[in-house]
Structure 1
Amino acid sequence: MIRIDDLDAFVAIIEKGGQTAAARHLRRSVQSVGRSLSALEQDLEVQLVRRTTRQSGPTEAGQAFYRRVKPALADIHEARLETANRQAEPSGLLKVGAPAAFATAFVVPAVRDFMERHPRIEVELQASDRPVDFFAQGLDLAVRIRELPDSGMQARKLGELRVGIVGAPTYFAHRGRPAHPDDLADHDCIVRVLDGEEASWPFRINGRRRLVRVGGRFRTNSMPAIHAATAAGLGLGLTPLWQVRAPIERGDLEVVLEQFESTRIPIHAVWPATRQPALKVRLFADLLAAKVRHGRL
């Protein structure tokens, strides 16, 4: 019989890259995580994880099993949590931080449902693209859209988003379409101006991640401005594709260099590891994960 703890261990091994990191994440011993993986493989009669001395990676069967079991496991945990807390009613102020565009598209709908379910809850949302300081801002939970450094934060992975290059048909009619990232040297690229960052875009070329220097006549620190500028034909823009889904479907924007797109960017809900998350934090993280899971990223 497959146990939930064994599935948790398997998912953590895949997401964290090995048994040691998975054990640290789950707050279990390495031996316990290893036993869970062995029991799961024995039950399924197939090797799920390829072990090496440095790290662990999924086999083809393991990758397929992970894709199927991950959302199902999230639903099971959500159902268990709701059942376990059906008599408890969260209350008080929940302070959430998130990037501005993500907050509008995902956090606010989650807040609406959360407040409808729990009338004793109040929510304060701080939407900003700047890094947040948990203790200075008094946050209970924040959304991070990037790889997480090894820090004193507990994390719940919400999903992944796809980032791509878009341009308007009018731009392509005049300038042509790039066939390779190196072709961007001959194109106007709309650069997002951020503190101290070079104008480089990430790609995966010949199986490796490579940064390609880009430039153009128009620069801005605003993602909405990048979207407007690409639609106006001023150049090519690098953007999370979910943010421009509507103009892509209308044909106002087109995606190029899809075969060279870098790996997807993870989305996490985080809170201090030194703090046991309150019921309101756990319930909101579960609800937000469901919103992201059913979104189009």
Structure 2
Amino acid sequence: MSRIEDLETFVAIIDAGSLTGAARKLGRSLQAVSRSLGALENDVGIELIHRTTRQCRPNEAGQAFYQRVKPALTDIIEARSEISDRRLEPRGLLKIGAPTLFGPDFLVPIIAEFMRSYPQIEVDLQLTDTFVDLAAEGFDLVVRIAQLPDSGLQGKRLGALRRVVFGAPSYLKDRGIPKHPGELRDHCCVVRTVDRQPGQWTFRAGGRPRKFSVNGSFRCNSMEGIYSAVRCGLGLGYSPLWQIKHMIDNGDVQIVLEDYEPEPVPIHVLWQENKFPPAKVRAFVDLLAKRLSLEGL
């Protein structure tokens, strides 16, 4: 099959009327143009151009071939240029997956900035707390808050997120501030019933991770309900710090047992392993890493 370069050379020779003119137009040597034309004629098995010392003209077969090839070649060149533009300039649909609570507060403002910078970008943000399959579900990238196994995906670490115990000032004034995770057995704790191990909170004690059993008179299946209950003084809660930072800033709750916090959970942005990631993915990942400052949050 003829190379695109040979077809480009053939069209350029006819358009320019000579090998020399084609060489000048294409920025190639005269020898390279001559070899390219010879390779094309060998491939199709017929002479296409009559050559003289001064000019080159297509014969009947060459003229017919030219009329069929030139429009197709123009389409190929335009398609190649469009693909090159897509590689360089972010455009098209960007499908992003992110945790339900994390996405609205942390990602949407960055997505808005990204879309203002690149008007040809569209975004489909899917908020879910399950691990999606990027390839099967058509995601360009996902944000995950977890220790990650080797998944065959490319990724960038965005930071690490703390998990903390917290309580309302009224509760802590009434029941006291726990000094060690073992003291939680004497406290009311608000337990999330849909956890994998409800009532088992992880701490770092004695230089290693340890689980401590907790209980209380109020349980709930949602974090929003738990936050409201803790704010109302019904007990201590256990949560990622980023989810309750606004409550801390407002003075609604305060952190306890900071010396026993477990190892922070890493947060990553992941995308399909690809030697040449699309420009939209590269540009968004760069902006995400630049705008998010999540280490120790």
Structures share fold, TM-score greater than 0.5: yes
C-alpha spacing 1:190/1:277, structure 2 compared with 1 (3 Å): farther
| Residue 195 of structure 1, CA deviation | 5.7
Q: What does 1:179-218 correspond to in 2, within 5 Å?
A: 179-194=179-194, 196-218=196-218
Root mean square deviation of aligned Cα: 2.2
Q: Show the counterpart of 1:222.
A: 222
The 1-side partners of 2:152 and 2:254 are apart by 41
Q: Show the counterpart of 1:235.
A: 235
The 1-side partners of 2:244 and 2:195 are apart by 24
**Mind listing any 5+ residue stretches in structure 1 that lack a counterpart?**
1-84
The 1-side partners of 2:195 and 2:183 are apart by 26
| Residue 264 of structure 1, CA deviation | 1.1
The letter of the residue matching 1:248 is I
Q: What does 1:276-295 correspond to in 2, within 5 Å?
A: 276-293=276-293
C-alpha spacing 1:205/1:280, structure 2 compared with 1 (3 Å): same
| Residue 213 of structure 1, CA deviation | 1.6
SS at match of 2:234: coil
| Residue 102 of structure 1, CA deviation | 1.0
Structure index of larger Rg: 2
Q: Is contact 1:190–1:215 with CA below 8 Å preserved after alignment? A: yes
Aligned: 1:147 with 2:147: yes
The letter of the residue matching 1:206 is G
The letter of the residue matching 2:110 is A
C-alpha spacing 1:274/1:283, structure 2 compared with 1 (3 Å): closer
Q: Is contact 1:106–1:291 with CA below 8 Å preserved after alignment? A: no
C-alpha spacing 1:196/1:262, structure 2 compared with 1 (3 Å): closer
Once the two structures are superposed, what CA deviation does each residue of 1:200-246 show, in whole Å capped at 9, x if it has no partner?
11111121111112222222232222211110111111112222222
SS at match of 1:142: strand
| Residue 275 of structure 1, CA deviation | 7.2
Q: Show the counterpart of 1:124.
A: 124
The letter of the residue matching 2:145 is I
The 1-side partners of 2:269 and 2:165 are apart by 26
| Residue 294 of structure 1, CA deviation | 7.0
SS at match of 1:194: coil
SS at match of 1:293: coil
The 2-side partners of 1:276 and 1:229 are apart by 49
**Mind listing any 5+ residue stretches in structure 2 that lack a counterpart?**
1-84
C-alpha spacing 1:195/1:132, structure 2 compared with 1 (3 Å): farther
| Residue 140 of structure 1, CA deviation | 0.7
The letter of the residue matching 1:169 is P
C-alpha spacing 1:231/1:146, structure 2 compared with 1 (3 Å): same
Once the two structures are superposed, what CA deviation does each residue of 1:59-116 show, in whole Å capped at 9, x if it has no partner?
xxxxxxxxxxxxxxxxxxxxxxxxxx9x932111000000011101111011001101
Q: Show the counterpart of 2:268.
A: 268
Seq. identity, %:
48
TM-score, structure 2 normalization: 0.67
Q: How many residues align?
A: 213
